[in-house]
Amino acid sequence: MSANNKIITVAVIGMGLMGPRHADAVVKEPNTKLVALVDPAPQTQDLATKYGVSYFATIGELLASQQKPEAAVICTPNHVHAVCAEELAAAGVHILVEKPLCTDAQTGKDLVVHLKEIAARTGVKSLVGHHRRFNPFSLATREATTSGSLGHITAVNGLWTVFKPAPYFEAGQWRKTKTGGPILINLIHDVDLLHYFLGPIVRVQTEKTVSRRGFEAEEGAAIIFKFGSGTIGTFLLCDNVVSPFGWEFGTGESPWFPHTGQDFYRFFGTDASLSVPDMTRWSYTGTKSWMEKITGEKIPVGTGEPIENQLAHFVRVIRGEEQPRCTLDAGLAALIVCEAVKESLERGTAVDIEPYEL
């Protein structure tokens, strides 16, 4: 077996909601081998036994062991993403860090600088886990929004509206805090995809939804985005309403949520509009006029499971075959925008966003 085809050993750090999904993907991927699970929760030992791998309570124990991996997937609570990423990268371990990169922009900026310095010395690769970039619906939407198929995109409308029950918050008390609301947990996915489809955002303005739970965490917001291209967008976010409208429900991506197929994005262009995930492109066959017949055609969508697609890409990044689809800068950019959304909620005014890399 050549060096470039060598099986890559992987540890999964954090076995909360996302950890087992990543562990399953590592087991399924023919180019990776799961060697360890890391989590201070004692029940993780049972999961490690199930997978037939080693268990460690801390990253330090993992790195000092004979099971030190070549790569790791970081699925810990948001507020410890940065410290885990630095500890692993400094030890020469390639990292796939779940979004958000961390919980505030300044920490994110410092982290990106440090990880780039480490990479320059050691060759360690980093990938930010915005796995929706690997969803077939995202790939089809990106093609439509960047190819000119819709003409000049004037506006976009988005929805992420769901009901999170009490057990969700009881299972992770940090979800009740300022870093546990839907902006950093959920909206950040949509911001990253809007970047992927439409480029950088330069201004946000918001109105906060009514908070009924009494937690420190926000429950939602109505948001106006202005993009550097001139496109404007509106987005409604809330995790305390009964609704079938949101990414997970519309795409059927997650095994935990029912598949409704309901639209959650609409893009409006000078030549056509597109609704997602039914992937209907609406346009005129002749004269463009509101009094003419408008017809819809379905855009084809490929197949593939996003978490598994992302892991396969991570392998190719480690091997030097591809550049990261979601770079450290891109992960930081989504965090910067979400921080601006939070700032707008607190100030009650529009917030202009500093230029950033994608």
Average pLDDT of adjacent 10-residue blocks, the chain of 358 residues: 78 93 97 97 93 97 97 93 96 95 91 96 96 97 97 98 94 87 94 98 97 94 98 98 96 90 97 98 95 96 95 98 97 96 96 93
Ordered DSSP codes for 287-309: S--TTS-EEEEEPP-----HHHH
Angstrom distance (rounded) from CA 46 to CA 347? 47
pTM equals: 0.92
Answer whether CATH 3.90.1150.10 is correct for domain 133-303+336-352: no
Residue 2: its pLDDT value, please?
47
Angstrom distance (rounded) from CA 270 to CA 234? 18
Angstrom distance (rounded) from CA 357 to CA 341? 18
Q: What residues have CB less than 8 Å from 277, skipping those under 6 apart? A: 137, 250, 251, 261, 263, 264, 265, 301
Angstrom distance (rounded) from CA 16 to CA 278? 32
In the chain, list all ranges with CATH 3.30.360.10: 133-303+336-352
Query: What residue has token string 């919980």?
Result: 103
Angle 350-351-355 (CA atoms, 0-180°, nearest 5)? Answer: 145
C-alpha distances in Å from residue 352, one per residue of 334, 355, 357: 15, 9, 16
Q: Residue 86, exposed/middle/buried by CB under 10 A (0-12, 13-18, 19+)?
A: middle
State in words which class domain 3-130+307-324 has.
alpha beta
In the chain, list all ranges with CATH 3.40.50.720: 3-130+307-324
Q: How far is CA 239 from the centre of its chain?
A: 17
Region of 302 (left: φ > 0; alpha: ψ -120 to 50; beta: rest) is beta
Residue 303: its pLDDT value, please?
92
Residue 294: its pLDDT value, please?
96
